[in-house]
Amino acid sequence: MLAKVRQILNRTFIGSYVANRVDQVRTVNTKNGIEKQAIFLAISLTADFCLGTVIFSCVQQSGYSPQLLPQAIVNSTESTVENLKLIISWLMQNPAGLKLNSVLSRALGKFFLYHIHLWVTYVYLLIPALIDLLQTLSPVFHFLPLSLQLSILGDMLSVLCVHVFCFYAYARRITYSQINGCIALARLFAGKKYNPLRKRVDSADASLEHLFVGTMVFTILLFLLPTSLTFFLVFYSLRLSAMLGLEIIRRSIWLIQWLPCQS
């Protein structure tokens, strides 16, 4: 039960930070060289707090205060949404001179745009609650350790990027099933089929109806493949860049948390 909670907590930055700290304290309590471990843990925590305060005051002096944070969230959400809409409408016309199937690209583009519209509605319902929460927390920000500040930043980023991951999942599903269908029907084209019992490809005695319908569906899937592949590649690259940003934050948190203890 606790492992399940742990699993859910590890998905978020804040939860994993808290869980890691609890783990560290627990290992200090149960290990033998208690003094060494306790000293290192204390060093890590104090370094964290000091760094947090110092960097936060630097940031505050250069003009970014916690009161601006809700507005910053709203602005970045809107700009992300606008950019995604631009990319999708660019894909719906002839992107980079690629010959995409017009009907399918328009259908996929409209589907993704509607999904964005739903998500934006949801976010606009959620933002007032979020803003209230941040307003209550803002005096505390100054005194939080640096890794906790970074984890809050990371969590906000992942909330912003969640629909990029969603789009990647949809496009991947569609493209993958198309590719599988193409491969299976290409085998039928050559008069063979896959034998799952023996895990090999056997010759197939297909009736005329099978051959006819199989060829037509194979041609349709084959010609629709470049379109879905383009959508998939675009969303895959977006997801990669989002993951890169999140990974940087994760590594820096790891650095601050674990480096004093490991030495």
Partner 1 sequence: MENGRKNQWRKVLYENGGFPDNYTPPESFLAAIERNKNLRLYTKRECFQGAAIVGREVSLVITFWSLYVYLSESLINSEQLLVALLLVVTSGYLYHLRNYTYSVLLSGLKTTLFFLTVGFALSPVLFKLTDTISTDTIHTMSVIGLVVHTFTQNYGIHGPLVSKSISLNSAIFSTVCLASRFPTHIMAFSLLCLAVFCFLLVPMWSEVYVPNPLKSLLSALISVCLLARVLPNYAVLAAVFLILVQVICPLLFFHLQSYKQTIHGPWDEASLD
CA angle in degrees (0–180, nearest 5) for 234-239-244: 130
By CB under 8 A, is residue 91 in contact with partner 1?
A: no
Quick one: angle between helices 34-61 and 208-262, nearest 10? 100
Q: In the stretch 184-213, what mask flags binding to partner 1 with x, by CB under 8 A?
A: ----xxxx------------x-x-xx-xxx
Cα torsion 28, 34, 37, 39: sign: positive
Total of residues contacting partner 1 (CB under 8 A): 25
260 binds partner 1 (CB under 8 A): no
Residue 168: CB atoms within 10 Å: 21
Nearer to partner 1, 59 or 201 (CB): 201
Rounded to a whole number of angstroms, the minimum distance from the CB of residue 69 to partner 1 is: 46
C-alpha to C-alpha distance for 201 and 212, rounded to whole angstroms? 20
Residue 216 in the binding site for partner 1 (CB under 8 A): yes
122 binds partner 1, rule: CB under 8 A: no
Which of residues 16 and 227 has its CB atom nearest to partner 1 in the complex?
Answer: 227
**What are the φ and ψ backbone dihedral angles of 162, each rounded to 5 degrees?**
-65, -35
DSSP letter at 95? G
138 binds partner 1 (CB under 8 A): no
Note whether 215 binds partner 1 by CB under 8 A: yes
Reported residue count of the chain is 263
Which residues in this chain contact partner 1 in the complex, by CB under 8 A? 94, 99-103, 188-191, 204, 206, 208-209, 211-216, 218-220, 223-224
